[in-house]
Structure 1
Amino acid sequence: MKLESKRWLILIASVIINLCIGSGYAWSVFAKPMVALLGATAAAVAMAFTICNSVSPVTMITGGRLVDKFGPKWVIFGGAFLFGGGILLTGYTKSLTWLYLSYGILAGFGMGFIYSCTIANTVKFFPDKRGLVAGIATAGYGTGSIVVAPVANWLITNYGVLAAFKILGISYIIIIAVLSQFIMTAPEGYKPEGWNPPAPTVGSTVTGVDKNWNQMLADPMFYVLLTMLFVGAFSGLMIISQASPIAQEVIKVTPATAALGVSLIALANTSGRVLWGWISDKIGRYAALTVMYIIAGVAVLALTSVSTFGGFVVATMLVGLCFGGVMGIFPALTADMFGPKNNGVNYGIMFSGFAIAGFFGPITAAKVKMASGGYTQAFIIAAALSIIGIILTQFLRYRSKKAMEAKMIAEARM
């Protein structure tokens, strides 16, 4: 099979693998049963989701280095046992400490190892469709809860929450380990037959310069991008982690109806990764991000006055759509800004913005609920952050435009 055809097979395998590790987005389905099981507060139980998302960037960075040594196939294979094993061991939870270690740390580490391989490696196979393919690859991550939320809810209802974790954990180990064998390493500087990269233009995010992680950290624009990722992920992670409890407590729907809402949010999350990835290839990353921040800010602010399930679904799906777009665009944006060569490690470091949001997003919603009895203040905080995202995007857009103009003038004088 030609490499041109193999790259699509690798993309398909990567999407299904990401579907498995993306099941973490269905956490809100497990939240209330785990609160009841452990007799703990919602904030204490939500910390497991927070830990999982906080530790995964650590192994994303490490995973990028291991890929250089062992190749993505075997890093993903090992990650299958970390992630699936963590979910399986969660099925034996009797305390918050065990929950944090199994679901939070072990599954989080496995998630990071796997995600670092499936995203960075796949993007290297598609320099001609970087935004679209980054969106498709990350879409698998968002699809996880579409499939898992109703399945998990059924398993919890019929067998209990601990049995649900055990069944899912074993399934993940098998699926990811098998599909890892279809992954291969992207050749250095790979270009599809007959395709040549376009020259960078004024306003483009593409620098044409490969930077390693040291050089990236020395660039002030890295920290602007990091903050933009944090802002883009904050509202999405806050809603995703608390969607089921919010629907049940504020809109007063049943757990099954709330699980449907979680699946619809995940559908929007998934669609956003592909849609905005494609749009960003057409109109540019910065223009696409600006529109996403505006939509997300308006939608999350609308949640302060929503009283029907239909209104809740529309608003949260819009948040999910934009959150998915941010997560779909940033692997490509990182490669555009700092080059594709070191994108495995570079995006792993950039992903720490997601980890920070993974800590503050869910915990903000839980703390606000505990202090005020509602979520209104949390929604207002998320809307305010979206405004910051718009400002930073325009600042970076302006800086990139000026830098490209200066470069073109210098080249013209040579």
Structure 2
Amino acid sequence: MDLKTKRWLVLIASVLINLCIGSGYAWSVFAKPMVAHLSSVTGVAVTAAAATLAFTISNLFGPVTMIIGGSVQDKFGPRWVIFVGAFIFGGGVFLTGFTTSTTWLYLSYGTLMGLGMGLIYSCTIANTVKFFPDKRGLVAGLATAGYGTGSIVVPPLANSMISSMGIMATFRTLGIAYFIIIALGSFFVMTAPPGYKPEGWTPPAPSAGSAVSGVDKTWKQMLSDPIFYVLLLMIMIGAFSGLMIISQASAIAQETTKVTAAVAAVAVSMIALANTGGRLFWGWVSDVIGRYNALTIMYIISAVSVFALTATPSYSLFVVEAMLIALCFGGIMGIFPALTADMFGPKNNGVNYGIMFSGFAIAAYLGPMTAASVRASSGGYVTAFIVAAVISIVGILLTQVVRSKSKKMQEATAKA
């Protein structure tokens, strides 16, 4: 089997591995049973906020190990980094099945699972993108879609397991299953050869739409490039609206359209599907029309949709608008691994994208916090929606700035 064929096995293995670690976003299924368990074993009423802090901790640790994992796998290859990550992630989930206090929960589900999640994700994304210079956007979308699919596939499975065997046994079972799947999957992940190009494929000439620089930069060189900071703002802006809606979808639906929690849960599922689908769709689109053209369209759709939420008269319209926002959010997450490789080269994309991903971490705090703060102070979400719309418009402008800068860089390179 030649490398051009083997790379698809690497992609399939990476998608399955990402599906496992993406289950970290299924916290909402575990939240209520975990609160009940902790309140029972401690004899003290544990709040939902106290338990949910574990989810926040895992998201804070993720970007840290993405940078570390990216650096290690750029030097030694991704296989063993993923294998070690299987122990940490699977172990974190397994140990959560022995929780007797919030401290234990923060260390197992929060710290260990978050560390393993970032370690694995940095390898599956960066290495896979290196194997597909001819389809970077589509493949980055597929790999990140696996991550998003975890939040769709795991909830019904976990909910059924919790009903039949209880919350603690569910965590122990899932932990073992995740370890086995990730560990086995790691042996199908091989290191992409430096500068790999599939046989018969000729790189297209760089264009302003694609923004392929053709230059490999280290993380230090990337940080010294002003374009990096613009791109960091762009990923943060792209994630802001999506995370605001995803984190508050049920509450927003119930408040603005007066539906029940059960009906709002349907909207949450539809939004999750749009998030996953957006990673595939926009990844493919960006390969066809260029990254910056795709980003411009996404920011426009996001700005219009989130502003439309300020006057949403019906539940069905809310679902459509929220799905459009999630579709674009997923697209941002799917495109940026490829865009980072385009701009700063694929060689060091593991650590480079890990640093770029910190923009997502910032948005993960600011987006939900803005919605919650506005709701607490004004009694509604309208101002938060307006803020998100304005921020998306800024994203449109920043995209044109980077497009122009990229075009000038390419012209200078051509002359040289």
Give yes or no for TM over 0.5.
yes
Query: Would the aligned equivalents of 2:74 and 2:351 in 1 still touch at CA under 8 Å?
Result: no
Q: What residue ranges of structure 2 are gaps of 5+ in the alignment?
A: 40-44
Bigger Cα displacement from structure 2, 353-362 vs 129-138: 353-362
Query: Which of 213, 218, 227 is residue 224 of structure 2 equivalent to?
Result: 218
The 5-angstrom pairing of residues 25-174 of structure 1 reads: 25-34=25-34, 39=45, 43-157=49-163, 159-174=165-180
> In the TM superposition, what is the alpha-carbon distance from 1:260 to its structure 2 partner?
3.4
> In the TM superposition, what is the alpha-carbon distance from 1:175 to its structure 2 partner?
1.5
Aligned to 2:354: 348
Bigger Cα displacement from structure 2, 124-133 vs 76-85: 76-85
Q: What amino acid does structure 2 have at the position aligned with 1:17?
A: I
2:195 is paired with a residue of what secondary structure? coil
Per-residue CA deviations over 1:26-58 (Å, capped at 9, x if unaligned) read: 333444555666655555554433322222111
Q: What residue ranges of structure 1 are gaps of 5+ in the alignment?
A: none
> In the TM superposition, what is the alpha-carbon distance from 1:6 to its structure 2 partner?
0.8
Aligned to 2:391: 385
TM-score by length of 1: 0.90
The 5-angstrom pairing of residues 301-340 of structure 1 reads: 301-306=307-312, 308-340=314-346
Q: What amino acid does structure 1 have at the position aligned with 2:340?
A: T
Query: Would the aligned equivalents of 1:150 and 1:263 in 2 still touch at CA under 8 Å?
Result: no
Q: Residue 130 and residue 13 in structure 1: after superposition, are their counterparts in 2 closer, same or farther (change >3 A)?
A: same
2:346 is paired with a residue of what secondary structure? coil
Q: Residue 30 and residue 301 in structure 1: after superposition, are their counterparts in 2 closer, same or farther (change >3 A)?
A: farther
Q: Is 1:201 aligned to residue 207 of structure 2?
A: yes
Bigger Cα displacement from structure 2, 139-148 vs 246-255: 246-255
Aligned to 1:275: 281
2:135 is paired with a residue of what secondary structure? helix
> In the TM superposition, what is the alpha-carbon distance from 1:21 to its structure 2 partner?
1.2
> In the TM superposition, what is the alpha-carbon distance from 1:257 to its structure 2 partner?
4.2
Query: Would the aligned equivalents of 1:146 and 1:263 in 2 still touch at CA under 8 Å?
Result: yes
Q: What amino acid does structure 2 have at the position aligned with 1:260?
A: V
Percent pairwise identity: 71
Distance, in Å, in 1 between the alignment partners of 2:97 and 2:257 is 30
1:127 is paired with a residue of what secondary structure? coil
Q: Residue 148 and residue 254 in structure 1: after superposition, are their counterparts in 2 closer, same or farther (change >3 A)?
A: farther
Q: How many matched pairs?
A: 410
Aligned to 2:367: 361
Distance, in Å, in 2 between the alignment partners of 1:367 and 1:155 is 35
Query: Would the aligned equivalents of 1:234 and 1:361 in 2 still touch at CA under 8 Å?
Result: yes
> In the TM superposition, what is the alpha-carbon distance from 1:171 to its structure 2 partner?
2.4
Bigger Cα displacement from structure 2, 49-58 vs 215-224: 49-58
Query: Would the aligned equivalents of 1:269 and 1:324 in 2 still touch at CA under 8 Å?
Result: yes
Q: Residue 235 and residue 336 in structure 1: after superposition, are their counterparts in 2 closer, same or farther (change >3 A)?
A: same
TM-score by length of 2: 0.90
Q: Residue 110 and residue 93 in structure 1: after superposition, are their counterparts in 2 closer, same or farther (change >3 A)?
A: same
Q: Residue 105 and residue 251 in structure 1: after superposition, are their counterparts in 2 closer, same or farther (change >3 A)?
A: farther
> In the TM superposition, what is the alpha-carbon distance from 1:256 to its structure 2 partner?
5.0
Aligned to 1:399: 405
2:389 is paired with a residue of what secondary structure? helix
2:249 is paired with a residue of what secondary structure? helix
Per-residue CA deviations over 1:93-134 (Å, capped at 9, x if unaligned) read: 454433333222211111111111101100111111111111
> In the TM superposition, what is the alpha-carbon distance from 1:144 to its structure 2 partner?
1.1
Q: Is 1:3 aligned to residue 9 of structure 2?
A: no
Distance, in Å, in 1 between the alignment partners of 2:376 and 2:51 is 13
Q: Is 1:183 aligned to residue 189 of structure 2?
A: yes
Q: What amino acid does structure 2 have at the position aligned with 1:136?
A: L
